[in-house]
Amino acid sequence: MTLRKTPRLFYALVLAIGFAFSACDKDDDTTTPDTGTSVGTDVPDVYKKIYGASQIYVEGNYIVVKSTGLPDHKTPYYKGTQWESALYVNDTRSGFKMNSNTILSFSYVFKLPKNPTVASTHKALGAATIGVAINGVPLFNQYQMENQLLTPGAGEYVSFDLYGGHPTPFSEYHYHIEPSYLTASKGSSSLIGFLLDGFPLYGPVENGKTLTSSDLDAYHGHTSATADYPNGIYHYHTTADAPYINGNGYYGTAGTWSK
């Protein structure tokens, strides 16, 4: 009887060792920060600031960012959703007109060039999504329905919640303007996202100065050193005046997004 039991014990031991090595291999491939984001070990540190992503990894010449697109702050647009009890807030600001849309979770995939460079031909902005904020929420262009420029106090602008976002008729929550929740919590000069061409987006303040569109080029950015790129890089800024996040197209070659 003893001889018959020995092989079973041996195989069990082999399997246990195999699982242990398998677990070690998995740990070598990814790390899991406190945010719960799965981050590939070869991902540059600056992209690890996208705390709202579910997964970030390198795929060839691209940084892949996956997210649900759900904002991590309170908004009246969580009303009637499964997140209402924790994240709904009644927005009583004067002039605010809530639209009839609500928020849903999606499986966004953003592919950003790992080493962004200036494009030989600057591509016009695509419809709607132009990048991703560090909380995983999509960034939209400066236009509302029918390709009209957003104007403070009119049109879709009045439906932006207290943090500058709202959902589309397809329930996609997004920001057209400065995500004030991020600039308030991270700082007005901090990294707040990336556009699809891989170049970073910062808040409206640089070296103590609040920028306007007149301080930036046609694409709503410029080249200088930042805290994340001390050797300098082209980067975009949000501004209070139009076009808010991006100007006449991408400075670099845009990657892709899907959901």
From first to last of its 259 residues, what are the pLDDT tens digits of the chain?
A: 333 433 443 333 333 434 333 333 333 333 333 447 899 999 999 999 999 999 999 999 999 999 999 999 999 999 999 999 999 999 999 999 999 999 999 999 999 999 999 999 998 887 789 999 999 999 999 998 778 889 999 999 999 999 999 999 999 999 999 999 999 999 999 999 999 999 999 999 999 999 999 999 999 999 999 999 999 999 999 999 999 999 889 999 999 999 9
* pLDDT in the model for residue 147: 80
Residues 6 or more apart from 227 whose CB is under 8 A from it?
Answer: 189, 190, 191
193 DSSP β-pair partners: 133, 201
* pLDDT in the model for residue 137: 98
d(CA 190, CA 5): 63
Amino acid at 84: E
* pLDDT in the model for residue 124: 86
Residue 138's CB is within 10 A of a number of other CB atoms, namely: 24
Q: Is the pTM of this model over 0.75?
A: yes
* pLDDT in the model for residue 191: 98
* pLDDT in the model for residue 10: 35
d(CA 1, CA 131): 66
| Cα dihedral 216/218/224/228 (nearest 10) | 100
Residue for token digits 């999504």? 129
How many Å separate Cα 160 from the centre of its chain? 18
Task: Give the torsion sign (CA, 199, 202, 204, 208).
Answer: negative
* Residues 75 and 163 sit within 8 Å (Cβ to Cβ): yes
Within a 13 Å sphere around the CA of 190, how many CA atoms are in the beta-carbon half? Answer: 16
